[in-house]
Structure 1
């Protein structure tokens, strides 16, 4: 199989030139006027496609921006650094930096296939990133991150029944300014990030942003065969934006971006879980592995967008055109060990059979187009509506490197939608909102193989789906006073049918479309002379025909199923405080309870002797090639759905006599235990995880320069964060402690 190419010379040159330009001296501008540090600054969001104060939006929205983003991303972190940093958000991956999986209010998808659809949509600069590989694009030069919880089936529409994670890059301006940030830490973890506005003159302005991240391989192989070192990476990304503003009635923002990743897939380690517990085995060493296969990963992604805006008096027309392409390749030693029962020696522990596979996308292309008309007149009535088009195609290639089998699955996905939303103020205090969207979604898939005898084709190799759905939402908010609102929101969401292609270990499977109905009550307030801000919500939702991926088991299957009903409910809050001068505190938390409600729902459980806590309805029987028991999972919680999530940050400033400042910043995130799979077992229940960071720095020259030292995962807590259940007690872990330094300069 032809592998994805390595970093191409022209793109490497562009990235190198970008960073070189960032360090080139430019005219230093006077720093912008400093905001009043004795009050909390207003938070402006676009959660409902309009610019609004966060307290006025009748929806649970969390926003992260500015210094907090910079701190959390210290030490070369990828997008997973957001996990647990806002209520009800969890992010995990079995692919490392390339394929993050998002969960909001416990609702997500564990599917690792390259055509997996997710119920959490990621929107980057107004363009949906549909394929899960696209969702790992690095976070740099970003103005804000918004996490919008609950169904967003009207204004965002596509695959948003759990919510939306929305990124907005810093836009170009005519100010000749920018920044450069350099950091270095353990394992030669180095990051260079920067951006600056290009002085084009006239009606044009442009902004060039880039990030380069590197980490040495720090895990060594105890075996002489296979990959000898892993867990390092070279991750490079660049974004060029150009803004054309010839008049007050028209603007055009163009965006071209690229990412090149060469690194390591998720490192699977055989038998690292102690049988009968969810503890790591005695003597476990995170810096050692024992594999005999190849671990490698490469990714190339390029995209662009055009966001046009016409101010036509009482209405504004938006046209958003996007194109995205991505070519990933990932190969790994899936059994996590060396040798097997028929090929001694073997280890660590018992290895029934060896597995080494790779996956890749070829010819990927995603096109999207949105036309949205928005009222611009003032008054009690405001509205917006539009048309959305989506067209995606690609070929998935999967290869078993230990047998002569390569499968190729071509998938196309075409969808369109019309939508509208209305805001109406019954009075200055009582306000209503509502929206409606109609979506049609079609998929076609065809699978071929180099060895048809080994392909599980009994359920066919071709599939077609055609789904249509109306979604709606309605909300009401009431202002208790000018600083406090209460609201109620009803909303629905929709995810179209999914197709799992036929493969070596599983036949083709389809999952019917799922929909969700949600109800939310919330309150938002600023108080204590704007030194405190609180938002809180209580919610419940019911999912009908939730799409689930039954992964693994002794038969190594990967098939789609539907749960008749899933229920979830919970509470969440965000609190910001300025309790005393020079101290800023933030505190967030959530409680999520999720349950399958389907008495007939069953899956194949682990094939490696794990300790099951579910009712077994059909035991394992190796004599007929049934290597794992079948269990009922009614009443189980959703996988990777922690019941409790909490986070806290604290920043204390020590001003100096000359107007500079020292500061200390600490941040902590907690999630309670999670189940890795649909079934419930002792070994595959991940322990609670608490990760904290500490940063101390000095800021001088009116805020233009900053030097800091930082520690990530300060307690060096090591946890199993996921598993492979068909072979042995294989797992993977979180990153260990990282210590480093950072320098940042504003120009």
Structure 2
């Protein structure tokens, strides 16, 4: 059976199981008055969803923005098998995520816009915000999310009110804050490969109405589960063995202290720490045979690696923030001051295999290290209070990020006496990124039906990258960068100054339905690629990109049991920043003239009776790069292409014209679905069964088209069944993530035809509880 047929069959089977449960659920509801909301007076509806997409708490149905919400409980279900924030991929229409650098470097895409660059200094058009603090550096974006209240995904440019570099959208994580009553919760799970997760939080008042605290923690562990089958000679001392890769240990803690000295002043002081060790991404060399896209021949749990010491990585991160709000009556002044710092490294066998198995050619390993990173942010915002017809807010934002980053290549790691050993084969870079912005927004409600909103922001974004220590020869007597590039600068400065704005209108047809339209302009600052210096290659840069986005949607909730929101959109990104590879497989930045896209996204929630809940989401998008002058380096090894390129090529087939191609990692369509069915057993509790799935259509993984480097019909299924107490305080369950053990292609290393796979099947048990 072809893979696409199998995927469709599995999806149909899951949908059939879900739909077949409906009559039984209806009968259960009719058989007992406790399940009848009319009989017992309980609310069997979906409830109100409150978001802060416009920096105010509002009903999602009244916000003129395409926003999706994932509850903390749902996120914890997805992460029960040991996953991190990448578990959101496929669970939110229009959102995609992947990594080729392990758990410390997630890459997010919204409506097809993202960045495939694996450089530690890469910028991304998707902004990550945790507790109102923007996390810009790629390592900071990997800060684990735990004790979370909910996640909001804001699709489309959000430059007026949030952070920076938000041409694609925002993923906003809000943790549970301290309160004036003692509450606690925990989720614990244990499964395959000794995968263990413990996510907990406890908090309450120390001095009633004056001081409250909340302590949160996360522990995740997985044993190494991938065998390194290589038994031959290693030039850097790497040794194979059973269960040598794939594991990780994640330890995180956060303490919040909320001070409320008066009724008009609140100050929340938060501090957190992260200690992570694990395995960087495992690349499977040669898994994609030339002319084929079948990855089923390559085992996921075995690989032969002859270098890089089995791909270790480790990071430690610390941070804190002070969020103060002073209510003046007519308006509230909010100040958010935050600091983040991190240090660590990630090392990997970048050719993804043992060279001895490939004709003794293709040795490769590298390591990226952050010696130190310091990020300071400051935001001041003054916003009107109340639910008046006219609402406004204005403020300023300052961002300062400085880091010392190093890159090491193979010669550095070779054992003494080995040919090619060079202890000076590494570089050190100093990166400085400063940005400031002023912003404002106003909305006016006309006749209680029509609300008009306008926002604007002006941003200056400055970047400076300097080569502090170049590659030297083995004797340390020659600057190889300067010798090979006598005229290339060792310091590059770029600056971008652009306005962002948005206009929207929301019309309430009746209390159950609204329509809205929005037009927005976004901006992403210039980018510098400095890692190329480790290959003695000059820096590459990309100028600022801008986006014009148009969308219109409908938000309906005809009954308390049914909610349907849908949006159609189109956008154009001018001077879009793209990333390809040079002959060394190193990322190279450039701008293409523009990219166009159009698509739709929709979400349905339905609770026909109190015992069963359905959700269904989907998105479809068409993206297209437009620039006949732009060519991208293709898959090649020793000057010979290793894959089947379908685009027109030049220079001996080594460069492909990408005009008309889709953006990389932009799925043509995505579908996510979930169902939960509760069966009352007694007055003490309920048995439940829940299932979720996500499917992904054709997704090109690189800038050019090939017969090898794409994913299609990717599918993952989750299942959970267990017992909950009547009051919902306790739950014990069995679960399975990726229950069919699908092997999905998530990324590639082009010149080695190497594949990156998704997480394996994890089966286990979970226990959760909450105390009020």
TM-score scaled by structure 2? 0.88
* Range with bigger deviation, 188-197 or 68-77: 68-77
Aligned to 2:556: 525
Q: Of 545, 559, 566, which residue of structure 2 is paired with 1:536?
A: 566
**Inter-partner Cα distance in structure 1 for 2:41 and 2:176:** 19
- Do residues 605 (structure 1) and 605 (structure 2) align? no
Aligned to 1:594: 623
How is 1:218-617 mapped onto 2 (pairs within 5 angstroms)? 218-224=225-231, 226=238, 228=240, 229-280=244-295, 282=297, 284-293=298-307, 294=309, 295-339=311-355, 346-347=356-357, 349-350=358-359, 352-402=361-411, 403-404=421-422, 405-447=425-467, 448-451=469-472, 452-453=479-480, 457=485, 458-501=487-530, 502-505=532-535, 506-527=537-558, 529-552=559-582, 554-608=583-637, 609-617=642-650
> Which whole-Å deviations, capped at 9, do the CAs of 1:712-746 have from their partners, x for residues lacking one?
001111022111112x2111111111100011122
* Range with bigger deviation, 311-320 or 68-77: 68-77
Contact 1:157-1:493 at 8 Å conserved across structures: no
Structure 1 pair 184–563 and aligned structure 2 pair: CA distance change class (3 A): same
Aligned to 1:681: 706
Contact 1:273-1:281 at 8 Å conserved across structures: no
Deviation, structure 1 residue 702: 2.6
**Inter-partner Cα distance in structure 2 for 1:618 and 1:604:** 10
Give the SS at the match of 2:305: coil
**Inter-partner Cα distance in structure 1 for 2:182 and 2:155:** 37
Deviation, structure 1 residue 137: 1.5
Structure 1 pair 634–227 and aligned structure 2 pair: CA distance change class (3 A): farther
> Which whole-Å deviations, capped at 9, do the CAs of 1:399-438 have from their partners, x for residues lacking one?
0132521111101011110000000112210110001101
Aligned to 1:740: 764
Give the SS at the match of 2:488: coil
Deviation, structure 1 residue 379: 2.6
How is 1:620-631 mapped onto 2 (pairs within 5 angstroms)? 629-631=654-656
Deviation, structure 1 residue 37: 4.8
**Inter-partner Cα distance in structure 1 for 2:379 and 2:239:** 46
Contact 1:337-1:351 at 8 Å conserved across structures: no
**Inter-partner Cα distance in structure 2 for 1:571 and 1:175:** 43
Contact 1:116-1:498 at 8 Å conserved across structures: yes
Contact 1:618-1:631 at 8 Å conserved across structures: no
Contact 2:529-2:541 at 8 Å conserved across structures: yes
Deviation, structure 1 residue 234: 0.3
Structure 1 pair 264–612 and aligned structure 2 pair: CA distance change class (3 A): same
- Do residues 643 (structure 1) and 671 (structure 2) align? no
**Inter-partner Cα distance in structure 1 for 2:763 and 2:387:** 52
Aligned residues: 695
Give the SS at the match of 1:143: strand
Contact 2:561-2:606 at 8 Å conserved across structures: yes
* Range with bigger deviation, 693-702 or 165-174: 693-702
**Inter-partner Cα distance in structure 1 for 2:175 and 2:70:** 13
Unaligned runs of 5+ in 2: 1-39, 412-420, 473-478
Structure 1 pair 685–377 and aligned structure 2 pair: CA distance change class (3 A): closer
**Inter-partner Cα distance in structure 2 for 1:170 and 1:655:** 30
Q: Of 62, 65, 76, which residue of structure 1 is paired with 2:68?
A: 62
**Inter-partner Cα distance in structure 2 for 1:454 and 1:687:** 42
**Inter-partner Cα distance in structure 1 for 2:579 and 2:41:** 49
Contact 1:157-1:437 at 8 Å conserved across structures: no
Q: Of 31, 39, 46, which residue of structure 2 is paired with 1:40?
A: 46
Give the SS at the match of 1:504: helix
* Range with bigger deviation, 607-616 or 363-372: 607-616
Give the SS at the match of 1:72: helix
Contact 2:621-2:669 at 8 Å conserved across structures: yes
Deviation, structure 1 residue 270: 1.1
Deviation, structure 1 residue 72: 1.3
Aligned to 1:14: none
Deviation, structure 1 residue 199: 4.4
Over aligned residues, Cα RMSD in angstroms? 1.6
Give the SS at the match of 1:81: helix
Structure 1 pair 227–78 and aligned structure 2 pair: CA distance change class (3 A): farther
Contact 2:188-2:197 at 8 Å conserved across structures: yes
* Range with bigger deviation, 505-514 or 704-713: 505-514
In terms of fraction of residues, the more helix-rich structure is 2
Deviation, structure 1 residue 73: 1.4
Deviation, structure 1 residue 687: 3.0
Deviation, structure 1 residue 180: 2.5
Give the SS at the match of 1:48: coil
> Which whole-Å deviations, capped at 9, do the CAs of 1:303-358 have from their partners, x for residues lacking one?
1001000000101100001101111300011111123xxxxxx11x4563211110
TM-score scaled by structure 1? 0.91
Give the SS at the match of 1:74: helix
Contact 2:524-2:545 at 8 Å conserved across structures: yes
Contact 2:683-2:726 at 8 Å conserved across structures: no
Deviation, structure 1 residue 673: 2.2
**Inter-partner Cα distance in structure 1 for 2:500 and 2:41:** 42
Deviation, structure 1 residue 66: 4.0
**Inter-partner Cα distance in structure 2 for 1:503 and 1:614:** 30
